[in-house]
Structure 1
Amino acid sequence: MREIALNNVKKWLPKIVSDSQLGFACLYYVEGNTMLSSSLILIDEFWLSIKSQFPDDVLLALPRRDQLFVFDAGNPQAQVGASQIIEVTFNDGFNLLSDKVFERRDGKLLAQA
Structure 2
Amino acid sequence: MFGPLLQTVESEGGSTTIAVAVFLGQATAFVIACWIAKRSYDGYRDARRPSLLWLALGISLLAAVPTVLRFLLPTLLGASSVTTTVLASSSEIAGLVAILYTVYGRP
What range describes the TM-score normalised by the shorter chain of this pair?
under 0.3
Larger C-alpha radius of gyration, 1 or 2?
2
| Larger strand percent | 1
| Larger helix percent | 2
TM-score w.r.t. the length of structure 1 is 0.25
TM-score w.r.t. the length of structure 2 is 0.26
